Structure 1
Amino acid sequence: MSDRPGSDVDRLRLKVCVWIYGIALVFIFLALLLLLLPALLSHYDLVPNCTAAYSFFVCGLFILILYVWVDWLRFKVPFNWIASCVVAACLALGTVSVIPEQAVGRTLLFAIEILVMVSFFLMLAYWQLPDCPTVVYLLLVWYIYAVCSWFLCAVVGSSLSDPEDVISFAMHIVLWQMSCPIILFQGQVIYGYYGNHPTFLDMPLCALILFVDFLGFYAFLDGADHIANSILYTVDPSASRFFSRVLKSQLDT
């Protein structure tokens, strides 16, 4: 009977985690529908639209700041749910407005990649080594993942003949290496490994943070090919000579 309170807390944490991930998945599903909407309405020139993107992002970030810092808005039901839904809608619409029209297959592949990797990191965050400090475990997992991912990058890169494909694949590796400690930390906070209580009233905010992660990851993956092209163009000798001539002409004038 002595371990019953701890078991009750663990069950409550698990229940809260399920709610958080469920809410985040709902946000992500709706965002995917919005991302696919311009392709379904291809006869309308909907995206990209910089004015709409700026408007949605400014509105969403402003409401997000209020939501985080105003306690009654953050912890008062149903205002916290309404605020989180409004912020999610604004940020999703802003992302859709700034990204060019997306192909259905490409969008679904990116979404699957993001969901698989984030789920993997969240599972790693749930596991904890006995008598190991939480931060030490995070850094250890990050180091092991970085070594394994760079080894995978070297193996896959050696089998690819197109330099653009190699750099594009490396961009994916870099993204998940940089996001690994972020998702691990977020997962540890959600699971309560830093001594915090179950985030029952913060469920909308936690789900919203995971949703923001998804939007950021998607935007980066969508631009990975452009980053690869830019890198190849920068290291191209002819491009270097062109930049040298332009710089020299500017200095001469």
Structure 2
Amino acid sequence: MSDQPGDGVVRLRLKVYQWIYGIAMVFIVLAIGLIILPGLLREYALVPSVVATYCFFVIGLVSLCVYVNVTWLRRKFPFNWIVSCCIAACLALGTVSTLSSQRTVHVLLLSLEILVMMALLLLVGSFLLPDCPTIAHLFLTWFIFVVFSVVLMVAVCVHVSDLIYSYEVATHFVLWQVICPLIVFQAQVISGYWENLPPILDRPLCSTMLLFDFLACYIFLDSADEVGFEFYYAGQAANLKFMARSIKSQWDMFMDSQ
């Protein structure tokens, strides 16, 4: 008996999963190693480096934009893999150059959080409810995730003794609430749910974009304590009053100049 067309799509989807997620995991593990490396070489002032950050990110992002828009390059073996690896290296090195020296435990804990959450969201995006439009499933998933995470965030924050730490915890939750639809959307595209076949020819690009997600999340979460402190500081009554007076003063000066 010949295989049904649906069986071929399922096999293709599984093959794409293995390639994209496998290569993305290799990229991410290597990036984690690069992030840890400066912390092991503290006697050398390697990071942060503004010049290196600009160079690596400009080269990586410009190359990524060109690579995405040149179809033949994306699908021409082995150039697609070479370019993707170079872009991944530039993005990872740019991230390393941005950060200060990282403690190994700190890097591993943050990386574990990001990998677990990305895996969860990618898994959710890999399934589609029967007879449910893809975009409706995306927003439904986002809504459920936000509601659940808000409840969990409140439950955690009320048990945190230090108010500043509660802001830091909230920063983690807010990141995942914001990035949830992006990662779920990527999983849907990889699965071929947007009226497309699973992107077997764009495996290097998809893996690179997952690395991009990981690095962006890492940079944000690494500064979660600073972001939380800024929100805490801005939320103080005295600071709010000062801000209101400053805005009123600037507005009065603007009106007087008219």
TM, length-normalised to structure 1: 0.93
Measured against aligned partners, the alpha-carbon deviations of 1:130-158 in whole angstroms (never above 9, x if no partner) come to 11111111111111111111011111111
Could you say which residue in structure 1 is the equivalent of 2:24? Answer: 24
Computed over aligned residues only, the root mean square deviation of the Cα atoms, in angstroms, reads 1.9
Partners of 2:179 and 2:248 in 1: CA distance = 41
Could you say which residue in structure 2 is the equivalent of 1:157? Answer: 157
Does the aligned pair in 1 maintain the 2:191–2:197 contact within 8 Å?
A: no
| Sequence identity (%) | 51
Could you say which residue in structure 2 is the equivalent of 1:148? Answer: 148
1:186 aligns with 2:192: no
Partners of 2:151 and 2:242 in 1: CA distance = 35
Partners of 2:246 and 2:127 in 1: CA distance = 55
CA 1:154–1:245 in 2, change beyond 3 Å: closer, same or farther? closer
Could you say which residue in structure 2 is the equivalent of 1:109? Answer: 109
Partners of 1:204 and 1:138 in 2: CA distance = 24
Measured against aligned partners, the alpha-carbon deviations of 1:101-140 in whole angstroms (never above 9, x if no partner) come to 1111111011111111111111111122111111111111
Could you say which residue in structure 2 is the equivalent of 1:219? Answer: 219
Flag structure 1 segments of 5+ consecutive residues without an equivalent: none
Could you say which residue in structure 2 is the equivalent of 1:79? Answer: 79
Partners of 2:249 and 2:44 in 1: CA distance = 44
Measured against aligned partners, the alpha-carbon deviations of 1:19-70 in whole angstroms (never above 9, x if no partner) come to 1000100100110011001101000001110110000000111111111111
Shift of 1:195: 1.8
The alignment of Structure 1 onto Structure 2 pairs a total of residues equal to 251
Could you say which residue in structure 1 is the equivalent of 2:196? Answer: 196
Measured against aligned partners, the alpha-carbon deviations of 1:209-244 in whole angstroms (never above 9, x if no partner) come to 111000000001001100011112222345457768
Write out aligned runs for 1:94-105 (5 A): 94-105=94-105
Could you say which residue in structure 2 is the equivalent of 1:48? Answer: 48
Deviating more after overlay: 232-241 vs 212-221: 232-241
Shift of 1:245: 8.7
Partners of 2:186 and 2:242 in 1: CA distance = 46
Partners of 1:154 and 1:240 in 2: CA distance = 23
Q: Name the amino acid aligned to 1:29.
A: V
Give 3-state SS (helix, strand or coil) of 1:159's partner.
coil
CA 1:248–1:140 in 2, change beyond 3 Å: closer, same or farther? closer
Partners of 1:205 and 1:95 in 2: CA distance = 19
Does the aligned pair in 1 maintain the 2:121–2:180 contact within 8 Å?
A: yes
Q: Name the amino acid aligned to 2:44.
A: Y
Partners of 1:243 and 1:102 in 2: CA distance = 35
Shift of 1:248: 9.9
Deviating more after overlay: 237-246 vs 89-98: 237-246
Q: Name the amino acid aligned to 2:117.
A: M
Shift of 1:72: 2.1
Does the aligned pair in 1 maintain the 2:171–2:224 contact within 8 Å?
A: yes
Partners of 2:191 and 2:66 in 1: CA distance = 25
TM, length-normalised to structure 2: 0.92
Could you say which residue in structure 1 is the equivalent of 2:14? Answer: 14
Shift of 1:13: 1.3
Partners of 1:155 and 1:172 in 2: CA distance = 14
